[in-house]
Amino acid sequence: MYEFDFVRPATIAEAVQALAADEAQALGGGQTLLPTMKQRLAMPEALVSLTGIDELQGVCPDGEALAIGAATTHADVERATADSYPALAALAGQIGDPAVRNRGTIGGSLANNDPSACYPAAALASGATIVTHRREIAADEYFEGLFSTALEEDEIITHVRMPVPQAAAYEKFVQPASRFALVGVFVARFEDGVRVAVTGASEEGVFRWEEAEAALSQSFSADAIAGLSVDPDGMIADLHGSKAYRAHLVQVITKRAVQAAAA
Amino acid sequence: MPKDHDGKFTGIGASTKRREDIRFLTGTGNYTDDINLNGQAYVHFLRSDVAHGRLLSVDTAAAAAMPGVVRIFTGADFEGVGGLPCGWQVTDRFGEVMQEPAHPVLAQGKVRHVGDPIAAVVADSAEQARDAAEAIVVDIEALPAVINMKEAVQDGATKVHDDLTSNLCYDWGFVEENRDAVDQAIQNAAHVTTLELVNNRLVANPMEPRVAVGDFNRATGESTLYTTSQNPHVIRLLMGAFVLGIPEHKLRVVAPDVGGGFGSKIFHYAEEAFCTFAAKALNRAVKWTSSRSEAFISDAHGRDHVTKIELALDADNNFTALRTETYANMGAYLSTFAPSVPTWLHGTLMAGNYKTPLIYVNVKAVFTNTVAVDAYRGAGRPEATYQLERVIDKAARELGVDPLALRRQNFITEFPYATPVAVEYDTGDYHATVDKLEEIADLGGFAARRAASEAKGKLRGLGVNCYIEACGIAPSNLVGQLGARAGLYESATVRVNATGGIVVMTGSHSHGQGHETAFPQVIAEMIGIPEEMVEIEHGDTANTPMGMGTYGSRSLAVGGSAMVRATEKIIAKAKKIAAHILEASDADIELKDGQFSVAGTDKSLAWGDVTLAAYVPHNYPLEDIEPGLEETAFYDPANFTYPSGAYACEVEVDPDTGKVSIERFAAADDFGNIVNPMIVDGQVHGGIGQGIGQALMEGCIYDDNGQLLSASFMDYAMPRADDLPFYEVDHSCQTPCTHNPLGVKGCGEAGAIGTPPAVVNAVIDALQSAGKPVTHIDMPLSPARVWAAMNP
Ligand SMILES: Cc1cc2nc3c(=O)[nH]c(=O)nc-3n(C[C@H](O)[C@H](O)[C@H](O)COP(=O)(O)OP(=O)(O)OC[C@H]3O[C@@H](n4cnc5c(N)ncnc54)[C@H](O)[C@@H]3O)c2cc1C
């Protein structure tokens, strides 16, 4: 790790100000950023911790949706949404290990947009709105590709507005080493249709499987997507699976998510 | 049977809780990284990020001026200093000795694998050293990376070492005289089963990464190395005599608590030599602590064999001949014992549990631009067992016979048994372990369990296998003939204190095995005193007799036997003292429950009275024996020991994803006599865990450019608790070793040897049960690989 300054502001305004400095970077739970810094692959001059800002903490109802503070840890999301949004709670409870869940935050995960991360699938399938200190961004506009989002430099996610579907489930098929998603599928059924978001699989990062959404909106059952498949071409190929394998898993895991959501 | 002392069982056979766990589990161990010396400096190694290249220049000027830098060393500083030696010389099938490349401490002229150290920056802090290392400017002319072994031995292939004639280290044939007879037998066989397979490259990944602290005392001229080693005496000899030219009396090597080794800490590494060298050059202690990332590219890897095996059977399904051809990856340099692993620790095991009369093993050891490969838990024996037990399973399927029945039919049943591959099994009862396995694995209930799995949409498979291994290595004169440049005896000094407590200084080394608990059980049994009266010291060349350390499941069989021999000398002397005091003849003195008594009388003396007399020799036979009670013994065994066993694994395969889950696992082992059953259970559990890791999860993968793709735990899959099942483990089948005083055989590697074939056989069984024509999948059987095999 290189040397850096560390500040832990108490308000969003102070954080925004601190982030205006050159090479300053927001720090959530540090579960992605700190390992990267230890490997000397990131070298911010200042870290602005967001975990001391009360406004960024916790989960509260927001109409039909939940407003989840960006600095809420995975463990807190798991506890706070166990009744209100069980599929989300289950997702949060499957991230990493207890240490990661007690430090890592939803805002950090969404800002990072790792192509194998779990929260992006939940946000996209739920039709979430990513709220920053400047603006609101619909999930459909937010995820732009591998580790890339609509966020501007120094833009802070303050909270995430997650509509709660009538039925939902997240099914995660883990990569054996990292236990991130080799393929993860979040299925959310709303009154006006079904949304299916797939993480881990695509070279473009999290994506909506629209063909499956259409079929499931007609009939919310695993059989409805039995004949569907995604094109292996855009899928990730690595040590842990070929393009064909990932494309196949997308279908299998989606079916399982639908079964779980329908149960 | 263990002795019952008021409901507390002690001595041989008792599951005494491991006394060392108090410090391991409460953070009070003393590991090498816990050692910090006054004024110590830190070293950071700048390592090559290309697999193969010519080192044109290393410019350290800017780096040397950075804050805190003490000195920067490069390969040039080690000209005239010895290279890292190889401890085993293999002679090839034409009678020529192997090709042995130089292995400089820091790269000279060329870099040969990702991770090869180019420069070493010594600085006041570890971070400063790392900062400065980034400022070193290295100019490397990249050369094509030699990765694929079969391509590496083609004519005209790029050479890893320019001064060798090729990338072939040796072409070994065993037993060479049998070559033609084996070819003939295979040609004339009623049935031949052929299998090509890969024994996947593994990274040992002990919990504690390697650490070295070098120190130098200008007043005495003595160098000290603290290091994470399984065998400090061997490091002292290799480093002192071959690398740095320091005589033993000026060199002390200390391996304190060591957090797991699994073979990877047997070898003498460049970082150890560097820290010792630099400490003397700088007159300042120098410390290196490996990061996990560094461990992946600098710890010796394991396995990495590519094999073709053929098994010939007659019309009655008797094995008539076996032929194997293996390419064994040595990596870029020869690690300390690398040449022995695919040869003498592998070829000699190819008979397995079977009376196959004709065997020929060919091994081509190949240099590649990868990290050196050496012994890893089992070392050669897992590779032998895997191919043999896989080919037998395949044969059973081809012939439509029960896999266990085919094995039973071909079992060796008479002992001692001289195999056609040069070893003599002293004891064993292979039918007994299979009988036991059938019972504990409930093989009879498999059909019902398969039906239940199928009802859930899962495929269920059963895999069985048997193994034999040679451990407790080994007789020095034999290994000397086979090319070892070291003896393989073990030593112990038993020091009895005046008030009767005992300290044993053993040449074995415990890095998790439990010597500190098990060894006292043996002495307690022999003398009849509480285990708590015995303490074990190990790991410091300054206070232990020259010993060869711990690997090859040798500690109890060889080191324990040395301790028994020394204790026998103690008892003999103590009896003389007792006889003198009791005014009897030594022949009439009996020692039982810590009491010396005169046979047929009520005259007796306690253990402590005799030990006190030895050090306060007022009433003492000074004209016959010296005062004091301390004895040393060196024990050189007459043979290897041959544990054996039978394993069964039941898996469920998810046909939609290819994911394998292990539902049941049973191991019936014959380890001969058992000193501490709980510790043996633990050794078997750990070995099975590593075996399952190899079979399903772990795989070290290089790309064509020699970049290590599985270079961290993000991509190298280590098994976790929830990947592993509960095990059914039994070691009640006991045919004691006939040639060591304890009758013990060694249990440390069995699990890692016996497990992979059981798992793979089970997966193949599961897939075939669903009509899939899959006959083999290379490890690790990851979901992706299993799915791909099912959907070609
Ligand atoms: C062992 C391990 C296992 C893991 N397993 C999983 C898994 O299974 N699934 C999964 O989804 N993830 C997994 N993760 C990642 C984990 O969820 C991280 O917590 C998460 O990706 C990042 O969150 P963080 O709060 O730690 O962010 P940090 O590491 O602090 O920051 C990550 C990035 O986000 C930025 N950032 C942080 N907060 C904000 C904000 N409010 N606004 C704008 N930018 C911000 C930072 O500047 C940085 O660029 C794992 C991590 C580890 C170490």
B720 domain residue, yes or no: no
**Residue B97 forms beta bridges with which residues?**
B91
- Per-residue pLDDT 10s for chain A (263 aa) are 889 999 999 999 999 999 999 999 999 999 999 999 999 999 999 999 999 999 999 999 999 899 999 999 999 999 999 999 999 999 999 999 999 999 999 999 999 999 999 999 999 999 999 999 999 999 999 999 999 999 998 899 999 999 999 999 999 999 999 999 999 999 999 999 999 999 999 999 999 999 999 999 999 999 999 999 999 999 999 999 999 999 999 999 999 999 999 98
Instruction: Please determine, for residue B9, whether its predicted confidence score (pLDDT) is greater than 80.
Output: no
B717 domain residue, yes or no: no
B648 domain residue, yes or no: no
**Cα–Cα distance for residue pair B404/B410, rounded to 1 Å:** 10
The model's confidence at residue B71, banded by pLDDT at 50, 70 and 90, is: very high
The model's confidence at residue B479, banded by pLDDT at 50, 70 and 90, is: confident
Query: Is A121:A206 a contact under the CB 8 Å cutoff?
Result: yes
Residues B232-247 have a mean pLDDT of 96
Instruction: Please determine, for residue B661, whether its predicted confidence score (pLDDT) is greater than 70.
Output: yes
B10 domain residue, yes or no: yes
What is the structure's pLDDT at B1?
A: 55
The model's confidence at residue B678, banded by pLDDT at 50, 70 and 90, is: very high
Residues B25-47 have a mean pLDDT of 97
- The backbone torsions φ and ψ at residue B123, rounded to the nearest 5 degrees and listed phi first, read -145, 175
B549 domain residue, yes or no: yes
Q: What is the pTM of this model?
A: 0.97
CA geometry: angle B278, B284, B290, nearest 5 deg: 60
B595 domain residue, yes or no: yes
Report DSSP state, residue B619.
S
- Chain B contact for A39, CB < 8 A? yes
Residues B142-151 have a mean pLDDT of 98
What is the structure's pLDDT at B475?
A: 83
pLDDT tens for B37-55 read 999 999 999 999 999 999 9
pLDDT tens for B619-655 read 999 999 999 999 999 999 999 999 999 999 999 999 9
Helix axes B515-527, B561-582, angle to 10 degrees: 30
- Chain B contact for A8, CB < 8 A? no
Pocket of ligand 1 (CB under 6 A): A 25-33, 50, 70, 95-96, 100, 104-105, 107-109, 111-112, 114, 117-119, 156-157, 179-180
B581 domain residue, yes or no: yes
B659 domain residue, yes or no: no
What is the structure's pLDDT at B528?
A: 95
Task: Please judge whether A252 and B710 are an interchain contact, meaning their C-beta atoms are less than 8 angstroms apart.
Answer: no
Find the residue in B nearest to A251 (Cα).
B656
Interface of A with B in 190-249 (CB under 8 A): 239-242, 245, 248-249
Instruction: Please determine, for residue B2, whether its predicted confidence score (pLDDT) is greater than 90.
Output: no
CATH (domain of B513): 3.30.365.10
Query: Is A142:A36 a contact under the CB 8 Å cutoff?
Result: no
Taking CA atoms only, the protein residue closest to ligand 1 atom 21 is A109
B714, B782, B791: residue with CB nearest A178? B714
* Mean pLDDT, chain B, whole residue set: 96
Instruction: Please determine, for residue B487, whether its predicted confidence score (pLDDT) is greater than 90.
Output: no
The model's confidence at residue B4, banded by pLDDT at 50, 70 and 90, is: low
* Chain A residues in contact with B788 (beta carbon < 8 A): 242, 245
What is the structure's pLDDT at B77?
A: 97
A2, A240, A249: residue with CB nearest B657? A249
**Residue A190 forms beta bridges with which residues?**
A193
Task: Please judge whether A177 and B710 are an interchain contact, meaning their C-beta atoms are less than 8 angstroms apart.
Answer: yes
Number of Cβ atoms within 10 Å of the Cβ of B498: 14
Contacts of A19 (CB under 8 A, 6+ apart): A25, A26, A48, A154, A156
Query: Is B373:B331 a contact under the CB 8 Å cutoff?
Result: yes
Task: Please judge whether B788 and A239 are an interchain contact, meaning their C-beta atoms are less than 8 angstroms apart.
Answer: no
Residues B756-774 have a mean pLDDT of 97
Instruction: Please determine, for residue B488, whether its predicted confidence score (pLDDT) is greater than 90.
Output: no
Residues B600-616 have a mean pLDDT of 96
Mutate to test the pocket of ligand 1, among A34, A47, A112, A119 (most ligand atoms within 8 A of CB): A112
User: Containing domain of residue B508, as a range?
Assistant: 3-28+489-635
**Cα–Cα distance for residue pair A242/A69, rounded to 1 Å:** 37
pLDDT tens for B313-352 read 999 999 999 999 999 999 999 999 999 999 999 999 999 9
Residues B196-201 have a mean pLDDT of 98
Residues B707-714 have a mean pLDDT of 97
What is the structure's pLDDT at B5?
A: 60
Number of Cβ atoms within 10 Å of the Cβ of B415: 14
Interface test with B, best of A31, A100, A175, A254 (most B CBs within 10 A): A175
Please return the burial class of B753, using the count of CB atoms within 10 Å of its CB with bins 0-12, 13-18 and 19+.
buried
Rg, Å, chain A Cα set: 18
- The backbone torsions φ and ψ at residue A32, rounded to the nearest 5 degrees and listed phi first, read -110, -45
Give how many domains chain B has, as a whole number. Answer: 1
Contacts of A58 (CB under 8 A, 6+ apart): A68, A69, A72, A76, A80
Taking CA atoms only, the protein residue closest to ligand 1 atom 10 is A117
Instruction: Please determine, for residue B481, whether its predicted confidence score (pLDDT) is greater than 90.
Output: no
